[in-house]
Amino acid sequence: MPAQKNIVILISGRGSNMEALLRANLPCRIAAVISNKADAQGLETARAHGIDTAVVSHRDYADREAFDAALAQEIDRYQPDFIILAGFMRILTDGFVHRYTGRMINIHPSLLPAYTGVDTHARALQDGVKIHGCSVHFVTPALDGGPIIIQAAVPVLHDDTPQTLSARVLHEEHRIFPQAVRWLCRDQARLDSDGRVSVDRMEQLGSTLISPGLD
């Protein structure tokens, strides 16, 4: 078995995906939870689990570069193997991303590469897509454009609203995010030198999702 990994989780809000990681009994040590907002609800959750917390407020810095430098300094105090973005709502500079190449992952509420950025559920409904979902990917300088580790798809129902679709997708986020982190911590997933993701597991066959269903 590989040596136990250290991870640092970055959040900006309630931290529901962070909570999913805490519940998952992952084979790693969660060294710290860091937020750019002092009132992020997830910080209280982390403290209740005995996890170190820190706040690096983006409002305290003149530009993104200065904020990212301070954030990197705080992260590096914990010497993490991986940095996990769990609802961290800041666009990171290229320099920050390159500092952690192959070590930083993010969860995004769409089937990438479709619907990068925000308001993914409303945009999917506007376009009339029939299958939507979520993705866990390595972070690269391209916004939500990094190599994908795992995805989950859900059907879009005829009476969906952005809220109902979001709830269905979030349920899957809470399933696939811990799986991706588990693979990383077991050295079963990695970013290859050619920029592609390698995962040491069997492919699943016969699990097609068709929506609406066939007659």
CA distance 9 to 92: 15
| Sign of the torsion formed by the C-alpha atoms of 202, 6, 107 and 95 | negative
The pTM of this model reads 0.94
**Which are the catalytic amino acids?**
108
CB 27 within 8 A of CB 185: yes
With CA atoms as reference, report the closest residue to 195 among 151, 117, 141, 114.
Answer: 141
Going residue by residue through the chain, which has 215 residues, state the pLDDT in tens, using 9 for 90 and above: 678 999 999 999 999 999 999 999 999 999 999 999 999 999 999 999 999 999 999 999 999 999 999 999 999 999 999 999 999 999 999 999 999 999 999 999 999 999 999 999 999 999 999 999 999 999 999 999 999 999 999 999 999 999 999 999 999 999 999 999 999 999 999 999 888 999 997 666 667 777 777 77
Class of domain 5-195: alpha beta
Structure tokens at 207: 């699990």
Domain assignments of the chain as residue spans, ordered by start: 5-195
Number of H helices, E strands in the chain: 6, 9
